[in-house]
């Protein structure tokens, strides 16, 4: 009889369990350690947020919404982005809510990748981008940043793009970078080559923690 794994989607079968989650599970039983593994805040959900969730359930505001998320929430997101970063988006057409960053990263990469594409991923990095690129049939190209203070240099990026210009579809910039915490300052990001027909996929999950 064939093994279950032989009957699975080949791209799924090729993936390994998340290294960061596996490591976190393994060390979590050690008593009294300070964990620097997952990006967990060291505080509980604030009371006003807990209360808003309780109120929503009590008011039966717990049914399907617009698939982009409620318009009120999308408007709140556009207000936040406008006040904090001075960028203006249309909440009706340009904002999409997901449950967590994983859903957003999955949706965005899946929407742009085709089999045979390549995705440039500077390392070390939060591993999530790698299986998502592979599920989309794309091949990750890693750029080791450890010889440059863990910062991706524009020169290195330009060379990798040039070497793979027929296939490269996206460059992942995770900033501030998990796990190293490095940030790309405006000066550096301005020097990055933008004149190629790929997408800069910016993931700044941790940004509000540092600025």
Residue numbers of the site for ligand PLP (CB under 6 A)?
38-39, 100-102, 126, 128, 174, 178, 203, 205-206
Nearest approach, Cβ of residue 102 and ligand PLP (Å): 3
**Helix (H), strand (E) at residue 158:** helix 154-163
* Shortest CB 3 distance to ligand PLP, Å: 31
Q: Are 121 and 80 in contact (CB under 8 A)?
A: no
CB of 5 to ligand PLP, least distance (A): 26
Query: Whose Cβ is closer to ligand PLP: residue 118's or residue 174's?
Result: 174
d(CA 180, CA 177): 6
Q: Locate the DSSP E strands across the chain.
A: 118-123, 139-144, 168-174, 199-203
Give whichever of 113 and 130 is closer to ligand PLP, judged by the CB atom: 130
Non-local CB neighbours of 36 within 8 Å, separated by 6+ positions: none
Pick the closer one to ligand PLP by CB: 56 or 209. 209
Choice between 28 and 55, CB closer to ligand PLP? 28
CB of 166 to ligand PLP, least distance (A): 28
Cβ nearer to ligand PLP, comparing 98 with 164: 98
**Closer of 38 and 53 to ligand PLP (Cβ):** 38
Cα pseudo-dihedral 60, 62, 63, 68, rounded to 10 = 140
Beta bridge partners of 141: 120
User: Shortest Cβ distance from residue 108 to ligand PLP (Å)?
Assistant: 12
Q: How far is the CB of 111 from ligand PLP (least distance, A)?
A: 17
Q: How many CA atoms lie within 13 A of 142 on its CB side?
A: 12
Q: Which positions ≥6 away from 80 have C-beta within 8 Å?
A: none
Cα-to-chain-centroid distance, residue 129: 7
């Amino acid at each position: 009889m064939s093994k279950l794994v032989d009957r699975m989607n080949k791209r799924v079968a090729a993936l390994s369990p998340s290294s960061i989650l596996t490591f976190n599970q393994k060390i979590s039983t050690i008593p009294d350690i300070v964990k620097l593994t997952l990006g967990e805040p060291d505080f509980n959900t604030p009371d006003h947020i807990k209360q808003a969730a309780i109120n929503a359930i009590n008011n039966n505001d717990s049914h399907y919404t617009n698939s982009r998320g409620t318009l009120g929430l999308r408007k709140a997101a556009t207000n936040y982005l406008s006040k904090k970063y001075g960028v203006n988006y249309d909440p009706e057409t340009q904002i999409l809510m997901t449950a967590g960053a994983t859903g957003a990263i999955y949706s965005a990469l899946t929407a742009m990748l085709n089999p045979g594409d390549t995705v440039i991923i500077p390392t070390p990095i939060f591993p999530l981008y790698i299986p998502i690129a592979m599920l989309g049939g794309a091949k990750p190209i890693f750029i080791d940043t450890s010889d440059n203070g863990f910062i991706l240099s524009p020169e290195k990026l330009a060379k990798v793009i040039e070497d793979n210009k027929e296939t490269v579809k996206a460059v992942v910039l995770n900033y501030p970078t998990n796990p190293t915490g490095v940030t790309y300052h405006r000066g550096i990001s301005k020097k990055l080559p933008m004149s190629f027909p790929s997408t800069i996929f910016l993931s700044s999950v941790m940004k509000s923690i540092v600025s």
